[in-house]
Amino acid sequence: QVQLIESGGGLVQAGGSLRLSCTMSGRTFTNYAMGWFRQAPGKEREFVARISRSSTYYTDSVAGRFTISRDNGANTVYLQMNMLTPKDTAVYFCAADRTFISEQYTRENVYDYWGQGTQVTVSS
């Protein structure tokens, strides 16, 4: 019954911007911290960003370029991505965490539900 549906991926040139969206249904959105992960070809899935009720966290490689936010009225979490580079090319996944264990927020197993992923490709 629970669904996380991502949208907004696509092909952009280096230096461009994209905004990813992820909408939850089937659960009470405000009970979950939300995260974004990504997986590039040949690499393991890595943490990108997380938002709880108000606090945000970013991996060092995106800090200052990406912004995570949420609209509780729309049951949606966003990832605004600016100054994109080819190194940002990956499949991006949103994930929902019902435990709010911030000490482990970079770990995949913290998250209970996952979206199907959306492809982001940045050309040089």
What is the arithmetic mean of pLDDT over 23-29?
A: 95
Residues 6+ apart with CB under 8 A from 99: 33, 110, 112
β 10-13/118-123 pair status: parallel
**Using one digit for the tens of pLDDT, what is the confidence trace for 101-122?**
768 999 999 999 999 999 999 9
How many other CB atoms sit within 10 Å of the CB of residue 97? 22
Q: Is the dihedral of CA 84, 4, 72, 61 positive or negative?
A: negative
Q: Is the dihedral of CA 85, 90, 94, 6 positive or negative?
A: positive
**Using one digit for the tens of pLDDT, what is the confidence trace for 38-66?**
999 999 999 999 999 889 999 999 999 99
Task: Quickly list DSSP for 76-107.
Answer: EEEEEE-S--GGG-EEEEEEEESS--GGGTT-
The pLDDT confidence band at residue 93, using thresholds 50, 70 and 90, is very high
3-state secondary structure of 8: coil
Q: Give the Cα separation of 4 and 26 in Å (integer).
A: 9
